[in-house]
């Protein structure tokens, strides 16, 4: 799918998994929002939010549509994706591509699990 970031190499055994993707100089959607460089340390990038900027309306429309299209594609294929957040959206030019699709296959809990597990009758 054009909105899924490619994997160069993947392997797994009984106790671990390894996934390698190409490095992207632009970084993730979170890097764009925080005006951060992908190679900077995590604390330097995200723990001093002086430089946070919003997205322009056209960016929101474009990125939103692309994310919804890939989520629809995954849903139609019966593939769960519970790790949607700005750090799992890679920017490739003006295109968004989802990362970490393998998390559900590896049995990792959803990013939002703590939020919706408090509701007993959620469908």
Mean pLDDT by 10 residues, the chain (123 residues): 95 90 93 90 82 88 96 93 90 92 78 66 59
Q: Which secondary structure element, helix H or strand E, spans residue 65, and what is its range?
A: helix 57-76
Domain contains 4: no
Please calculate the CA angle 115-65-1 and round it to the nearest 5 degrees: 95
Residue 106 covered by a domain = yes
Q: Please count the structural domains in the chain.
A: 1
The 3-state DSSP class for residue 102 equals helix
Kindly state whether residue 2 falls inside one of the protein's structural domains: no
28 within a domain of the structure (yes/no): yes
Question: Considering the entire predicted model, what is its pTM?
Answer: 0.81
pLDDT of residue 67: 96
Helical (H) or strand (E) element with 46: helix 42-46
- pLDDT at position 89 is 96
Asked, for residue 122, whether it belongs to a domain, the answer is no
Q: Containing domain of residue 29, as a range?
A: 9-117
């Amino acid at each position: 799918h054009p909105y899924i970031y490619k994997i160069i190499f993947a392997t797994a055994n009984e106790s671990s998994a390894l996934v390698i993707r190409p490095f992207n100089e632009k970084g993730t959607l979170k890097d764009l929002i925080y005006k951060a460089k992908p190679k900077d340390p995590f604390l330097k990038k995200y723990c001093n939010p002086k430089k946070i900027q919003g997205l322009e309306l056209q960016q929101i429309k474009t990125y939103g549509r692309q994310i919804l299209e890939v989520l629809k594609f995954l849903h139609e294929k019966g593939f769960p994706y519970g790790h949607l957040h700005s750090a799992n959206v890679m920017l490739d030019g003006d295109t968004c591509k989802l990362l970490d699709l393998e998390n559900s296959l590896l049995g990792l809990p959803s990013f939002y699990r703590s939020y919706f597990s408090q509701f007993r009758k959620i469908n």
